[in-house]
Structure 1
């Protein structure tokens, strides 16, 4: 047992020394990702350059919604579920991705995440409440909303939220 604990500690220290970030379990107080087979309703959201249509969505707590996200714009866009504070934090992460050259105007650049991690960059776009949609593409995100709350759906590509690419998502009882 003593040896096993020392091996676990050594592995943790090695991971930290390489600059790798442990991937925390994603948890959200407003719900969780779901499979398309659990869908109770589908909602199409069209992304233009700096706009969402519709601008507001109403959902009932307990619903599993499949968002069909259609990017009709010329730029890469994101569909991210969260509150304003979550979006503010994520905007900083997206800015870092852009500054590193990983996030381009029309897509994500394929990068060697292993070498990025070794350089202290643990960046990747893998939150379950968020998807990137390239111009002309359609992507789906399925989510079960567990409680009544007020949220936003937003594009956090640098400058897009500030240009008005945000909508209201109301989850009622």
Structure 2
């Protein structure tokens, strides 16, 4: 399969899975895992600051309550492009293939992003824009927010899926506290 066709297919699946705010067989895993949905900042009951370094997060784990809306303020304090992405390990594995395409096409270039390439049409109106509501892709020194309403899932992580970063340990655990939210 040609790379552009593969990428277009992957982006279609990704956009469909995340636009609905859940991941239910979106990448063919058949797990039916629901990770939550985009939240409204006005409904956030907590704000968690997340720092991305080369190649780790601070904090390394977070605790949330099922149904809780959290505002993440994510800052890249490293020297490389990094991602903050909420998902299951299977979702991250699938997304890493898309991120590899971004490197292969010159979108991710070590410590910078080629924004012109992100807008390039890959066919059928699909681009390499990284605009899923559960994720931000940041150059060094950049900061953005992700607002997410969690639903319970057995195995949820936040991770950087830039090629090699997850494998180097750049991921953290999302723990669910059913008794009450950590303040």
> Alpha-carbon deviations, 1:73-110, whole Å to 9, x = none?
11111000001100000000000111011122123212
Matches within 5 A, 1:2-13: none
* Cα pair 1:61 1:147 within 8 Å, conserved: yes
CA distance in 1, matches of 2:42, 2:154: 24
Partner of 1:3: none
- Deviation of 1:170 after TM superposition, in Å, equals 1.3
CA distance in 2, matches of 1:47, 1:115: 27
Which structure has the larger Rg over C-alpha atoms?
A: 1
> Alpha-carbon deviations, 1:41-91, whole Å to 9, x = none?
001111111010111111011110011112111111100000110000000
2:138 aligned with 1:155: no
2:88 aligned with 1:94: no
Match of 1:132 among 123, 131, 137: 137
Secondary structure in 2 matching 1:116: coil
Partner of 1:31: 36
2:105 aligned with 1:103: no
Gaps in structure 2 of 5+ consecutive residues: 23-33, 179-183
Match of 1:58 among 58, 63, 76: 63
CA-atom RMSD, angstroms? 2.5
Partner of 1:40: 45
* Cα pair 1:61 1:172 within 8 Å, conserved: yes
CA distance in 2, matches of 1:156, 1:78: 6
Gaps in structure 1 of 5+ consecutive residues: 1-15
* Cα pair 1:95 1:157 within 8 Å, conserved: yes
* Cα pair 1:30 1:149 within 8 Å, conserved: no
| CA distance 1:75–1:40, change in 2 (3 Å) | same
Secondary structure in 2 matching 1:94: helix
Instruction: Calculate the TM-score normalised by the size of structure 2.
Output: 0.76
Partner of 1:164: 169
CA distance in 1, matches of 2:169, 2:85: 14
2:80 aligned with 1:75: yes
- Deviation of 1:150 after TM superposition, in Å, equals 2.7
